[in-house]
Structure 1
């Protein structure tokens, strides 16, 4: 019997960053894995203007110049596009992946996802410490305590 490791991936602006993609690739090489990608629907006012780049091998390289959304609607549309691209790239690489946009509050979004599905671990990808609201709020440790699952924190370098 093949055991598939089920990972909840929580990211938004960092969804296409190389560090996260390398972590997902590592999980896949370690054994059968599936990913549920949860994108907290962050309001435009909470975005940080930083460049983003990525490229999960063997998936096509994704490079985005990122100036930040001007409205909440634009923020939602950008998040939805990032989600669609990562799900398409994972699926094209033969990896089972699904996901959705969730609450702007990442803990609430995780709580909702965990109410509907079971996971073996949570992977949180966040902006660098100087920009990250999630790290300032201690989101990874809060999630670990609240949900009783191991949490891997990926901090991007951009």
Structure 2
């Protein structure tokens, strides 16, 4: 069995990288496996850095990449690495013993990895052949449509599920859904509650045959959205809220703020007011 180590972060979904991986895997035959290593990187927005969010952002990239590669008939596993890409790569080499390495970066004019001579350092330290895949995904785009869904208490509602299914039906290419659920307070039980909500909506999307992954985010929904846009190239955004009479997000003008800053299509899904049950 041959093993290909792929080291990438924000450029992981680029078409050039995916084509390179498919080409190498085909050359290696049926026994080839791919290890996707994503170094953790810190969000730029917010006063507090939540470890769960940093971990989840890397895991979402891995989950979506593995789903795509599996659909192409390629065996793939994931590895969330150190925040330093050099350390992450060498840790993955020690763990998985690859036969070759593919490193994906932005172009040299904007890549922090290349300014640190990452390719040459990995090649010298590992003794393995390293292929550099340079991608400008902001200009070139990616071979998917990516919709970011932001929700908290309404995450598992039928209204959000219906809106996302409509998005998939309207798309002329495969749609990836990234679900982000802001936690209501600090870490601990607040994070666990947000993670449970996130898992539920992702499960519902996957059961409908959609490609989805999720993460929890900063307690402030605006900060959570901005951080997600830092980590992922998103085509459009769906924000689900409680009805206007009960929604703190709407009172904080979340929808318009996100529209103005991102210049992206932002769809607002408002949950239907429901009478409380006897049990409640």
TM over 0.5: yes
Give the RMSD, CA atoms, in angstroms: 1.9
Give 1:84's aligned residue: 199
Q: Deviations over 1:35-71 (max 9, x none)?
A: 1001111139xxxxxxxxxxxxxxxxxxxxxxxxxxx
Tell me how far apart the structure 2 counterparts of residues 128 and 76 of structure 1 sit (CA, whole Å): 24
**Residue 95 (structure 1) aligned with residue 225 (structure 2):** no
Shift of residue 3 of structure 1?
A: 5.3
Task: Determine which structure has more spread, i.e. the larger CA radius of gyration.
Answer: 2
5 Å-filtered alignment, 1:2-151, equals 4-31=144-171, 32-43=174-185, 73-151=188-266
Aligned residue pairs total 130
Shift of residue 92 of structure 1?
A: 2.7
Q: Which runs of 5+ in 2 are unaligned?
A: 1-141, 274-280
Tell me how far apart the structure 2 counterparts of residues 43 and 110 of structure 1 sit (CA, whole Å): 16
Tell me how far apart the structure 2 counterparts of residues 132 and 147 of structure 1 sit (CA, whole Å): 22
Q: Deviations over 1:64-87 (max 9, x none)?
A: xxxxxxxx7443322211111111
Tell me how far apart the structure 2 counterparts of residues 94 and 18 of structure 1 sit (CA, whole Å): 16
Q: Deviations over 1:5-51 (max 9, x none)?
A: 2111000100011111110111122133211001111139xxxxxxx
- Structure ranking higher in helix proportion: 2
Q: Deviations over 1:102-153 (max 9, x none)?
A: 1001111111111111111110000011110110011000001111111000
Q: Which runs of 5+ in 1 are unaligned?
A: 45-71
**Residue 153 (structure 1) aligned with residue 268 (structure 2):** yes
TM value normalised by structure 1: 0.75
Tell me how far apart the structure 2 counterparts of residues 135 and 18 of structure 1 sit (CA, whole Å): 20
